[in-house]
Structure 1
Amino acid sequence: MKIQDSKILLIILIFGFLTACNSVRRVPKNAHLLTKTTIKVNDSTEESESVTNLIYQKPNSSIPYINFKTRLYLYNWARPNLDSILKAKIANNPKRTKRQIKFLSKKQFDQGQKMKLGINKWLKKTGEAPVIVNDTLSEKTIKRLENYYYNNGWFEVKADYETTRNDNQRAVVTYNINTGKPYLVDSLTTNITTPVIDSLYQSTLNKSLIKPNMQYRTNNFIDERDRITETLRNSGVYHFSQDNVLFKMDSMGKTKKVNVELYITEKPIRQEDTTRYEPFKIYKVKDVNIYTNSAFENKDKPITDSTLYNGFNIYSKEKLRYNSKMLTDAVFIKPNTLFRDKNKPLTSRRISNLKTFKYPKIDYVVNDADTTLTANVYLTPLKKFGLDFRAEASQSNIQTIGFSLNPSVLMRNVFKGAETLELSGIASIGASKDGSDEGDPFFDINEIGANLKLTIPRLFSPFNTSKIIPSSMFPSTNISLAATSQTNVGLDKQTATGAFNYRWFPNSKVTNSLDMFNIQFVKNLNTDNYFNVYESSFNTLNAIAVNSGYINAGEQLSFPEEAELFIENTINGTNSVSSDNLQTVNSINERKERLTEDNLILATNFSFTKDGRDNLYDNQFSIFRLKLELAGNVFSAASNILGLQKNNNDKYEMFNVAFSQYVKTELDYVKYWDLGSKNIIAIRTFFGIAIPYGNSTNIPFSKSFFGGGANDNRAWSAYNLGPGSTQSVNEFNEANMKIALSAENRFNLFGALNGAIFIDAGNIWNVLDDVKEDEATFTSIDSIKDIAIGSGFGLRYDFNFFILRGDIGFKTYDPSYGDSNRWFNDYNFSNATYNIGINYPF
């Protein structure tokens, strides 16, 4: 009976879906659904977004490539006037309604009615009403198209439209445009009545956006007006505005030429019913006053403290508690200098970046008598201290339950120079899933740590760096120290880190960051737990022990004693195994030694980022990142100078730990193309390599590369790809060279739900280190054949402040299949990798 009911329900759903997929279901009689619009320009199809966006009516949105109109079908599924229909059913069938209420209860019956209305409302809201052909909107589109081409130099443009209505209530609209020949700028003359303005304009004439023989475009004249205004207002002309710039055009039809005359009027002065004009004047900033505590509650308090520093007047309504140099360095409006309009927003941004004051208020007082300005900068301090306290509960593959506390305190203006000091801590406890002893406490996982960070709003240096990196680049210094200790997590660790970092912004697109030093010390406390963490390595080792007769079938090596003894006997030849198994045991032992060794890293690194995005909603941009890191050279020089001896592994040690020495570089490039209608193509290319030398023969685990994961090759889980064509038997696979390539097409499905299809390619390899396994090593250009390829699709839901992302990746080309066929071996849902992430992968 249940099977029969399920079949009936399935048939009803299929019938309902097919009915909804009737595109014209909600199209009124004698009306037509718009299915396609085409723009023909001089008999050629025009598809550029700048032109197609001018159309008032476009067909209903659809999923790219398959032209499936999801939102239209959702709308068709909804019933118009459902509330009236439900009320009529109740009124016309009182006995049936009474039986339902008796069976369900009045409350459940009412909730059922509300649910039906709610679903119907959601279908209407999420869906999209059919686009009905409207000739009035087509005529408005014609006017808009003619205006567009006219403003781009085609003064003789002609346009019309043709609507083809079919018998199936569907229609196509074609817009035909004949542009004629474009008009060119023939000459540019000027009429500037103020001599000083004429002089300033002539001095920047080479930057003019209006050139002879260029095609006439209205936007070029708008941009030129803005350029002239910006130039003059940054050259001392305080009263100048865009309204003072006029262009007059004289077109000549026969020659298709336009003569342009530029008018820059004098300064208008309105007096009652008349307006008189006088020449513009150059203004200078005479005085700059900084008021340090201008909060509203202090408005009636008198000034009690003041000082004069480098020509700046600094006032306070209490004892002045800010360093004068810090305040004046943040203000780009300088006393006795030419007025420059750009200095006001620069000052506002710089003061906000200090994180000591709220967004400032800046006013100019005009002194027409001597053509000077007085700048008043009003500052409102933020609170001296800020407290934050966070708590969270979590669960993972390591622990059944865990709790953590993260308190922090923020102190502003610590040394009276707008320095910010932040002290934060972490304390957590958890219950492990595999407690070894019933007598152990329930909460057997713990971590405790602290982090101290000092931010200085300038380059903290014994040298004067202002000429190389001026304050207009918003420089800052970050000094941090941190220490953590954790037990019953992996190998257990004690970690201490410290960093001294400079950051500055040469322009709005570029960010530079320099770590003068970044030191990291990691000590593993529980290396005996290695084979408990890396279970795959242990299972492989145990299988070799069984096959070689070292232990009986069904038995397991105890660890660490028996496992380490088996490794030692196998390597020195006491226990005989095949050559392949000997190589595997060697690999397991090398990896174990590498992942259980303590690390001491002292590095210097520089990163460069050029981000072409104009704002968060820009979908046509590129990002380039470069990072270069050098580690161990200071310790190496100190070892040679101090005459330190090498350990048994031929490595120098500092603090009883062999320090790491390497060079590492990363190149990352991201490019977006906006195809319109929320359809975006995005690509990413990445290359990274870390080369050990001197005191190191390999790269520390924390500085190596891995493949796979939600933000990498999504057909493999994190750390599960590579190296090279190896079969990834370890839980955490890493190497010192990486190539990654990704391409993704993102498109809107309906509402806030977006879809994507993607292809990811890449892998990791060992190169120039102590790994000798051919399958894991990049030996020549022929190793490129080991690049893994994954493909798949995903959904993204846009919550505005973040994006929830789900991707399904399929192994398309798997290098771990060696010399056999590598294509589409596991291309199915059972072998797919399911990823959940926040925001886009790149």
Structure 2
Amino acid sequence: MDDSSFSLPLPKTVEFLIHRTRLYLVVFIIGITAISCSPTRKLPSNQKLLVRQEIVIDNKSINKDEVESLIIQKPNQRFLGIWHLNLWVQQHTSQGEQTRFKKWLRRSAGRPPAIFNASDLMQSEAYIQSYMSGKGYFKAHVESSVITEDNTVSVNWKITTDTPWLIRNYRIMAEDSIVGALVKQSLNATLIKTGEPYDVTSLQLERDRVTTYLRNEGYFTFSNDYVVFEIDSSLRSRQMDVYMNVRNPRRLIGFSDNRELYGIDRHKKYYIDKVWVYPQYSTLRSIQASGESKPDTVHWYLPVAGDTSAGNRLSFIYNEKSHIRTSTLIESISIRQGDRYNLRHAENTYQSLSALPIYRSININYTPSDSKMVGQDTATIGLLDCAIQMSKNNVMAFSVEADGTNSGGDLGISGNFSFLNRNIFRGGELLNVKLRGALEMQQTLGDPEQNKVLLFNTVEVGADVSVIFPRFLAPFKSNSLPRYLRPQTTLTSGFNLQFRPDYRRYITNAGFGYRWKTNSRISHYFTPLEVNSVRIFPTAEFEAKLEKYNERLKNQYTNHFITSMKYSIVYNNQQYEKVHDYYFFRVDLESAGNALYLIDNIVGAPRDADGNFTLFNIRYAQYLRANLDFRYFKMFDQNNMLAVRGLIGIGKPYGNAAVLPFEKGFYAGGANGMRGWNLKNLGPGSFSDPNGEFSERMGDLQLESNIEFRFPMYAFIKGALFVDVGNIWLLSDIPTYSGGKFNTSTFVSELAMDAGLGFRLDFTFFVFRIDAALPVRNPAKPEGDRWVVSKSRIGDILWNFGIGYPF
């Protein structure tokens, strides 16, 4: 076979899969049929069960999910598309003595039969016809065909569209000329486009857009009820003109001949008068109710261009000693006395205060003020008082967690103890202290009884401490950045001790970094300095094993020091309240050792016996590293999606390092990657390890792609069909890892592949995942024998357990 290409022996592979799949399906269907029987046998003779609905639309631009949501009747859900499980539960728990268990099971998992109703069918037709008209298809034809078979009914929906009506002109009319001029200024952001099909949804969104725009311009009382659309469809050639009419408020002034008479007012533009801040609102209410004491009021005057007059005042209401610095709250509040009312300021204030972990909930209320602006027309100008009410969270919290672990088939247990302080320095800082311990049983080259605790021979203990500041620290000034960025500074440190059968490893780390958001979709992470120190003490047996191999493998298990700088950018356009396709994109860039290497070269620092510069008598690493994570989620409907991920990572050691540090390398396999292989047991390239001597394989380059179709199975049980393709490679030729070097002409033939079926138990607050994966293509096999699926057995399936989705 040519190294630059490979071929798939489809006939043999497909024949094997079809034969085995048919056998399993036959056995499964016979079992399901035996216990389910007919779901209609207990129905009265005059009732028929709705078992299926199919929708066919001749226009792909029409959202089938939205159409389906308009159909009143839905068939009973089928488990695995075969068995009416909820109907079976309903029928069988309704028989015999009604125990508590039966009632609970019927209430939790049972559903009444979906009895076909002709009147609901007609009403659904009317809903769909109205929906199609709202999309510009006024002459669309909606047809439903009812197919009756014994006691069951199937409904086929056929929707035929016509040529849509297009918008010819879009014009703004307003009873208030000032408001009308503002709306016209915003037309560059309009959602109604001339020449495009008429869509009532676009009109609704445009109404909301104009309302938000005017509220940001000071019109606090403006609502979308004042925006009315008029459509002129008298034009021929399927065109229409759209007019937005912005109306003024109406006020009831009396009656005449039993008719209501209304006066027309103008829209008021509001400015902020008094700002009241309640940092202890939850306890304030209880104290006021008991009458124990009166709260204290503290006024803060904020400078504006050097002026500290009373024209810019925040009033803080305290009923007890403040637990948070007032300056922290001021930095988080965008609402200022004398400013024009702006909805965006309220949203930024809410987000900034909500980011302070000391507070559980935030409420911002506006009420018309009794004061008046001097020299202003009260018919068009008004004042608002703002009350910012904050309910405190518990300052301290504790949690204990215990987990079972499965790392590459090595079973173990772990436990965590966490302590939180949500206001450690009285500025909304979050302190997180985590103590971790783990026990695991691993294979060893030496004495299996070494380090043994109960049944386990691997012990890991560690502690991590982090403090998150809700602002940027030095060299930035806290008030020099826009509040909408929601800046954070994180300080971290940790210590980890690993007692493994073959070595002891001590890991120390510390660092600080910044996080900020430029908008709701884009987040930035910048770590100017992160320090890691790794000290390893191998056993004699393990050291002897390392001496057998090349310098690269030996370097992975030697002491090293890392001083790195990192930057990451994350883009995510997912909107949780909407069903739409979305993307996730992350880029990580990292460099290490460059500044130290430059200084050592300038000052002529001494080198160690291997010719490397050291820091604290430990060789420090020098490298560049980058990786890209791209994900695309294709939403077919609310429950079915296709998730696609692509990973590219590369790391290049140079200068003071011959290889990447072990913890900075790339790995393949495991529950979140190539699921047909255990973690770190795939690659590099076509490297083969029949004796299992290399249990932790690392690469300089990673390419991986994952495709997963996610679908509902029953209630909280979700399913997934997945395929993983990828591998890791080395950038240099290492004799020990024969076939591990990346080559542009052969890397395609060295891609591994697995496929499988997953089950996800979605409990809303967490997802427990089981993925069964079978290797399909193994690059460690000789060329010509790498397609291994036809030789697979049940025992070759690798079971992966995890919390959450793999990506």
TM-score (norm 1): 0.80
The answer as to whether partners of 1:74 and 1:124 remain within 8 angstroms in 2 is no
Equivalence for 2:123: 140
Aligned mate of 1:586, from 499, 524, 549: 549
Q: Which amino acid aligns with 2:475?
A: P
Aligned mate of 1:744, from 702, 708, 711: 708
The answer as to whether partners of 2:468 and 2:490 remain within 8 angstroms in 1 is yes
Q: Are 1:835 and 2:800 matched, yes or no?
A: yes
Aligned mate of 2:522, from 495, 503, 510: 510
Max radius of gyration: which structure? 1
Aligned mate of 1:55, from 71, 75, 78: 71
Change (3 A) 1:11 1:753: closer
Equivalence for 1:161: 144
The answer as to whether partners of 1:387 and 1:410 remain within 8 angstroms in 2 is yes
Equivalence for 1:420: 430
User: What is the rounded CA distance, in whole Å, between the counterparts of 1:393 and 1:153 in structure 2?
Assistant: 56
Aligned mate of 2:669, from 698, 708, 722: 708
Aligned mate of 1:783, from 747, 771, 788: 747
Change (3 A) 1:749 1:319: closer
Change (3 A) 1:17 1:121: farther
User: What is the rounded CA distance, in whole Å, between the counterparts of 1:506 and 1:45 in structure 2?
Assistant: 33
Q: Which amino acid aligns with 2:128?
A: L
Q: Are 1:655 and 2:616 matched, yes or no?
A: yes
Change (3 A) 1:595 1:129: same
Q: Greater shift after overlay, 362-371 or 813-822?
A: 362-371
Q: Greater shift after overlay, 192-201 or 766-775?
A: 766-775
SS at match of 2:660: coil
SS at match of 1:206: helix
Change (3 A) 1:363 1:760: same
Cα displacement string for residues 402-445 of structure 1 (whole angstroms, at most 9, x for unaligned residues): 7856353526151x433333444456789999995999996797
Q: Are 1:369 and 2:372 matched, yes or no?
A: yes
Structure with greater helix share of residues:
1
Cα displacement string for residues 471-526 of structure 1 (whole angstroms, at most 9, x for unaligned residues): 211000011222233445652222211111100111111211111111100111x3
Change (3 A) 1:155 1:396: closer
User: What is the rounded CA distance, in whole Å, between the counterparts of 2:756 and 2:406 in structure 1?
Assistant: 27
Shift of 1:355: 1.6
Aligned mate of 2:779, from 795, 809, 815: 815
Q: Which amino acid aligns with 1:373?
A: L
Equivalence for 2:267: 280
Q: Are 1:674 and 2:638 matched, yes or no?
A: no
Shift of 1:779: 2.2
Shift of 1:603: 0.7
Q: Are 1:459 and 2:452 matched, yes or no?
A: no
Shift of 1:751: 1.9
Shift of 1:256: 2.7
Q: Are 1:187 and 2:169 matched, yes or no?
A: yes
The answer as to whether partners of 1:71 and 1:750 remain within 8 angstroms in 2 is no
The answer as to whether partners of 1:710 and 1:835 remain within 8 angstroms in 2 is yes
User: What is the rounded CA distance, in whole Å, between the counterparts of 1:599 and 1:12 in structure 2?
Assistant: 56
SS at match of 1:252: coil
Cα displacement string for residues 199-227 of structure 1 (whole angstroms, at most 9, x for unaligned residues): 21121122222333332211121111111
Equivalence for 2:302: 309
Equivalence for 2:398: 388
Q: Are 1:824 and 2:788 matched, yes or no?
A: yes
Equivalence for 2:389: 378
SS at match of 1:742: strand
Shift of 1:451: 3.2
Shift of 1:453: 2.1
Which runs of no fewer than 5 residues in structure 2 stay unpaired?
Answer: 1-25, 256-260, 304-311, 374-381
Q: Greater shift after overlay, 768-777 or 669-678?
A: 768-777
User: What is the rounded CA distance, in whole Å, between the counterparts of 1:124 and 1:363 in structure 2?
Assistant: 41
SS at match of 1:143: helix
The answer as to whether partners of 2:725 and 2:753 remain within 8 angstroms in 1 is yes
User: What is the rounded CA distance, in whole Å, between the counterparts of 1:42 and 1:304 in structure 2?
Assistant: 67
The answer as to whether partners of 2:137 and 2:165 remain within 8 angstroms in 1 is yes
User: What is the rounded CA distance, in whole Å, between the counterparts of 1:448 and 1:176 in structure 2?
Assistant: 64
Q: Which amino acid aligns with 1:278?
A: D
**Which structure 2 residues correspond to residues 439-478 of structure 1 after superposition, within 5 A?**
449-464=462-477, 469-478=481-490
Q: Greater shift after overlay, 260-269 or 429-438?
A: 429-438
Q: Which amino acid aligns with 2:794?
A: F
Cα displacement string for residues 631-690 of structure 1 (whole angstroms, at most 9, x for unaligned residues): 111221221233112222221111111111111111111122222362221111111111
SS at match of 1:261: strand
Equivalence for 2:134: 151
The answer as to whether partners of 1:267 and 1:280 remain within 8 angstroms in 2 is yes
Equivalence for 2:36: 20
Q: Are 1:522 and 2:534 matched, yes or no?
A: yes
Aligned mate of 2:178, from 186, 196, 201: 196
What is the root-mean-square deviation in Å for CA atoms of aligned residues? 3.7
Q: Are 1:344 and 2:356 matched, yes or no?
A: no
The answer as to whether partners of 1:160 and 1:177 remain within 8 angstroms in 2 is yes
The answer as to whether partners of 2:414 and 2:436 remain within 8 angstroms in 1 is no
The answer as to whether partners of 2:299 and 2:313 remain within 8 angstroms in 1 is no
The answer as to whether partners of 2:354 and 2:360 remain within 8 angstroms in 1 is yes
Change (3 A) 1:806 1:427: closer
Equivalence for 1:264: 246
Q: Greater shift after overlay, 13-22 or 612-621?
A: 13-22
The answer as to whether partners of 1:451 and 1:480 remain within 8 angstroms in 2 is yes
Which runs of no fewer than 5 residues in structure 1 stay unpaired?
Answer: 1-9, 88-112, 532-559, 569-584
User: What is the rounded CA distance, in whole Å, between the counterparts of 1:81 and 1:420 in structure 2?
Assistant: 51
Aligned mate of 1:358, from 357, 360, 364: 360
The answer as to whether partners of 2:412 and 2:438 remain within 8 angstroms in 1 is no
Shift of 1:529: 5.6
User: What is the rounded CA distance, in whole Å, between the counterparts of 1:788 and 1:403 in structure 2?
Assistant: 32
SS at match of 1:228: helix
Q: Which amino acid aligns with 1:50?
A: E
User: What is the rounded CA distance, in whole Å, between the counterparts of 1:806 and 1:689 in structure 2?
Assistant: 30
User: What is the rounded CA distance, in whole Å, between the counterparts of 1:163 and 1:457 in structure 2?
Assistant: 61
User: What is the rounded CA distance, in whole Å, between the counterparts of 1:326 and 1:447 in structure 2?
Assistant: 39
Q: Are 1:759 and 2:759 matched, yes or no?
A: no
User: What is the rounded CA distance, in whole Å, between the counterparts of 1:14 and 1:483 in structure 2?
Assistant: 57
The answer as to whether partners of 1:613 and 1:622 remain within 8 angstroms in 2 is yes
Shift of 1:629: 0.6
The answer as to whether partners of 1:390 and 1:407 remain within 8 angstroms in 2 is yes
TM-score (norm 2): 0.83
Of structures 1 and 2, the one scoring higher in RCO (CA 8 A, sep 6+) is: 2
The answer as to whether partners of 2:272 and 2:338 remain within 8 angstroms in 1 is yes
Aligned mate of 2:507, from 495, 499, 509: 495
Change (3 A) 1:701 1:185: same
SS at match of 1:83: coil
Change (3 A) 1:32 1:700: same
The answer as to whether partners of 1:161 and 1:175 remain within 8 angstroms in 2 is yes
User: What is the rounded CA distance, in whole Å, between the counterparts of 1:679 and 1:496 in structure 2?
Assistant: 44
Change (3 A) 1:694 1:182: same
The answer as to whether partners of 1:75 and 1:123 remain within 8 angstroms in 2 is no
User: What is the rounded CA distance, in whole Å, between the counterparts of 2:482 and 2:346 in structure 1?
Assistant: 17
Aligned mate of 1:622, from 583, 590, 605: 583
The answer as to whether partners of 1:20 and 1:77 remain within 8 angstroms in 2 is no
Equivalence for 1:109: none
SS at match of 2:350: helix
Aligned mate of 1:209, from 191, 197, 204: 191
Change (3 A) 1:619 1:512: same
Q: Greater shift after overlay, 482-491 or 434-443?
A: 434-443
User: What is the rounded CA distance, in whole Å, between the counterparts of 1:43 and 1:206 in structure 2?
Assistant: 30
